[in-house]
Amino acid sequence: MSNSTREHKIFAGNGSADLGKKIGEFFGQGLGGIQLQKFSDGEMAPYFTESIRGANVFLVQSTMAPAENLVELCLMIDAAKRASAYKVIAVLPYFGYARQDRKDKPRIAIGAKMVANILTAAGADRIMTCDLHAGQIQGFFDIPVDHLDGSAIFVPYLRSLNMDELLFASPDVGGVKRTREYAQHFNAEMVVIDKHRKRPNEVAEMRIIGSVEGKNVVLVDDLVDTGGTLCKAAKIIMEEGAKSVRAVCTHPVLSGKAYENIENSVLDELVVTDTIPLAQQSSKIRVLTVAELFAKAIKNITTDGSISQLFI
């Protein structure tokens, strides 16, 4: 049986139920039936309420905190394999633990590699995700990884704003490559925010490498957590004479005092996607959906099409 004639089914975990439903709609079919049984102690037991024998099964679940989201995904993968699915594709709009991609201090885990091993051991045949914290995490897997690019969502939105004197800023040295790609799309310049730390987790000094005077600045990052560094960078950019500053961050982790930090910041807006559902609404946070992007990628996999054609 060829891939094009094989049955394809999409299911969503509880952590990405709304996004999964949108992906199913853009794909052109509803979500498959799955139930999550919970024991009184919180132990989970997901099970499929329809046959998936011989089908390509796509399981949509971001693995943000709490860890139950990752455990639920692994159990869904195992259930699908035991139900004789042909291929199980784990669709992780947000790949949790990606920030733990190396040993940056002694006696610490490399969480991203560990999660890659767990998903593979659970039985995933393929991984689909978006804007990994570090691109080399793809190499932690010994199965195919489709790494989608959030710029396909953000670039059209930024173009719609018709901003002149556009300039892109990386909030740290590690994000230079990502920011440069955005700058190249718009034939614009870029600057880098350099951070100096007196001690761990405490930014003592932050300065801009380059000029932002008279510019409409866009900060680019893969995720926003507490928002402290991002908001401080925005403040310095405005103090250096920028006309406006906004940020685009694919994954809205938004923990701690993030919402308060963003509301009280000089940011015109924070543009994020729905890879992680927001815990609360904010007048400064605009959410763009990745549902159509993932639906197109799933469609291309089912037809043996190219994923790279979805990139900007």
**195 an active-site residue?**
yes
What are the DSSP E strand ranges found in 74-187?
Answer: 87-92, 126-130, 145-148, 166-170
The vertex-140 CA angle with 136 and 145, nearest 5°, equals 80
Backbone Cα Rg of the chain: 20
Place of tokens 């990745």: 290
For residue 125, give the 3-state DSSP assignment.
Answer: coil
What are the DSSP E strand ranges found in the chain?
Answer: 8-12, 34-38, 44-48, 56-60, 87-92, 126-130, 145-148, 166-170, 189-199, 202-209, 216-224, 244-252, 270-273, 285-288
Biggest CA–CA distance in the chain, Å, is 63
SS (HEC) of 198-223: EECCEEEEEEEECCCCCCEEEEEEEE
Active-site entry in 113, 195, 243, 284: 195
Q: Residue 88 is which amino acid?
A: V
Two tokens, residue 200: 């761990």
Edge-to-edge order in the sheet of strand 56-60: 8-12, 56-60, 87-92, 126-130, 145-148
Cβ count near 215 (within 10 Å): 25
Cβ 153 vs Cβ 182: under 8 Å:
no
Question: Which positions are annotated as active-site residues?
Answer: 195
